[in-house]
A and B are shown apart, each in its own frame.
Chain A
Amino acid sequence: MTTTPTTTPTSTSTSIPEEWKFTARDIALKPDLFLSGHRACAGCGPATVLRLVMKALRGPTIVTQATGCMEIVGSIYPYTSWGLPWLHTAFENAAANASGIEAAIKALSKKGKLKQEHIDVIAIAGDGGTYDIGLQALSGAIERDHDFLFILYDNEGYMNTGIQRSGGTPTGASTTTTPAGKIIPGKLEKKKPITDIVLAHDIEYAATATPYYWKDMMTKVRKGLEVKGPAFLHIFAPCPRGWRTEPSKTMSYSKLSVETCTFPIWEAINGKRTLSTPSKMYSLSPQKKKPITNYLEGQGRFRHLFKPENKHIIDQIQQVTDTNWQKLLKQCETTT
């Protein structure tokens, strides 16, 4: 029930330290803090994310989690999958809860009642708990400058309650509240640019990641923890149940999202955006970038787009993806 620090925390420095060095073997031998025996579906992307995130911790940590898939599967009574202090909270206030925990830690250490030198606080929420319901709590917590890391695992819908659309659902996806049929071809609206919204708060560290590039993802978690102040991490986690894909292909879609530039991975330190290595490859050699159809085909939620009458939606998605990618490239150029 304790976390083992691998390096000494450098909580006093506000600058982000050099790369955290680790090998696959170190990670494999580290005990899990998100334990086996959780009740997630076979091939769950977010479960992989949480396992890996919990292996990137640097010391004593408290986790608070909003309602969502990963909260449910990890805490079905009388079992718990959490090997560290964990608090469940309502859908809307993961960030507010994290602020409270952080304030309590501050108050206790001021009174000298705390044995530990520093305790990290992590708030975890799904895309429903961040894009839609938890946005004001997140915005408030960032504005109040609490020292915590907010992790958003984005599976593009309310998968836990029966695959409803969320602010994170992409255009054209069929969900139970935007069913594809004669009237609408899936969701008509765009995906909300959540990381841009968070970056607009002048946050010190914000990044996007995806579990296929696990080394990149874990380094970003560690960097987010090292920051003194709020940090935000947007992790793209495919959901085989909601996306109606093969469970074995979960990580393939995680990889394809980067290869097609649907979900480019980058990080912003003090507002300076830089592309991470996997995405950088597609900026240096654009001919390697794959067409969006590679990503869309095989996903049951986009199946209707391959009908002849919906062909224009694929073109539209490709166009929007290209525009967003060019926009991101420009932002990376101008700010570095």
Chain B
Amino acid sequence: MSKQQHEKGWKDLALAAVSPKASTEFLTGDWKTFMPVNDVEKCVGCLICVMLCPEGAARGCSEQGKVVFDLNFCKGCGICANECPAKALTMRMPEKDEEGV
């Protein structure tokens, strides 16, 4: 071991272990079997699905105040469809080569 390496003390170490990436780079959308589909006609924009989604996949509103899903993160649990008071949300099997699956 060279002298320089030997003299490296604890003060030269990084302050803490740092996770370099945000988990938004890790897409969990491929976990799901069923995907939520929002019937815009029925959606009243109560945002209950946005509140109760564990993934933050039901998010924001479109211009008409309707809920938009980010299927890149949706794990297909179906909480949104189960809790929707207007019954606008349904869970269905995605078609082949559908986007965000």
Taking beta carbons and an 8 Å cutoff, which residues of A are in contact with B? 24-25, 27-29, 32, 34-45, 47-48, 51-52, 74-81, 83, 211-212, 214, 240, 246-252
B51 adjacent to A32 (CB under 8 Å): no
Size of B's binding interface in residues, CB under 8 A: 37
B53 adjacent to A48 (CB under 8 Å): yes
A37 adjacent to B52 (CB under 8 Å): no
7 nearest A-B residue pairs (beta carbon): A248-B78, A43-B77, A37-B23, A47-B54, A80-B19, A42-B75, A42-B77
A-B CB pair tally, cutoff 8 Å:
118
A36 adjacent to B77 (CB under 8 Å): no
With the chains together, A28 CA to B69 CA distance in Å? 13
B19 adjacent to A247 (CB under 8 Å): no
B57 at the interface (CB under 8 A from A): yes
With the chains together, A32 CA to B23 CA distance in Å? 12
Report chain A residues within 8 Å CB of B26: 37, 39, 79
Report chain B residues within 8 Å CB of A43: 54, 75, 77-79
Taking beta carbons and an 8 Å cutoff, which residues of B are in contact with A? 19-28, 31-32, 46-48, 50-57, 59-61, 70, 73, 75-79, 81-83, 91
A40 adjacent to B54 (CB under 8 Å): yes
Among residues of B, the one whose C-beta sits closest to the C-beta of A50 is B54
B22 adjacent to A35 (CB under 8 Å): yes
Given A29-B60, A248-B81: A81 and B23 interface contact (C-beta under 8 Å): yes
Among residues of B, the one whose C-beta sits closest to the C-beta of A246 is B78
A247 adjacent to B23 (CB under 8 Å): no
A37 adjacent to B54 (CB under 8 Å): no
The smallest beta-carbon distance between A327 and chain B, in angstroms, is: 31
Given A38-B23, A42-B77, A75-B19: A47 and B55 interface contact (C-beta under 8 Å): yes
Report chain A residues within 8 Å CB of B48: 24
A35 adjacent to B60 (CB under 8 Å): no
Pick the residue among A25, A44, A74 that contacts B54 (CB under 8 A): A44
Given A43-B79, A248-B78: A80 and B22 interface contact (C-beta under 8 Å): yes
Give 16 CB contacts A-B under 8 Å. Answer: A24-B50, A28-B59, A28-B61, A29-B60, A36-B57, A39-B23, A42-B54, A42-B76, A42-B77, A45-B54, A51-B54, A74-B23, A80-B22, A81-B23, A214-B51, A251-B79
The smallest beta-carbon distance between B64 and chain A, in angstroms, is: 13
The smallest beta-carbon distance between A278 and chain B, in angstroms, is: 15
With the chains together, A25 CA to B46 CA distance in Å? 9
Indicate the member of B50, B79, B82, B91 with the most A CB atoms within 10 Å. Answer: B79
Among residues of B, the one whose C-beta sits closest to the C-beta of A75 is B19
Pick the residue among A36, A212, A252 that contacts B23 (CB under 8 A): A36
Given A28-B50, A32-B56: A247 and B25 interface contact (C-beta under 8 Å): no
The smallest beta-carbon distance between B77 and chain A, in angstroms, is: 3
The smallest beta-carbon distance between B52 and chain A, in angstroms, is: 5
Among residues of A, the one whose C-beta sits closest to the C-beta of B17 is A77
With the chains together, A246 CA to B83 CA distance in Å? 13
B56 adjacent to A51 (CB under 8 Å): yes
Report chain A residues within 8 Å CB of B76: 42
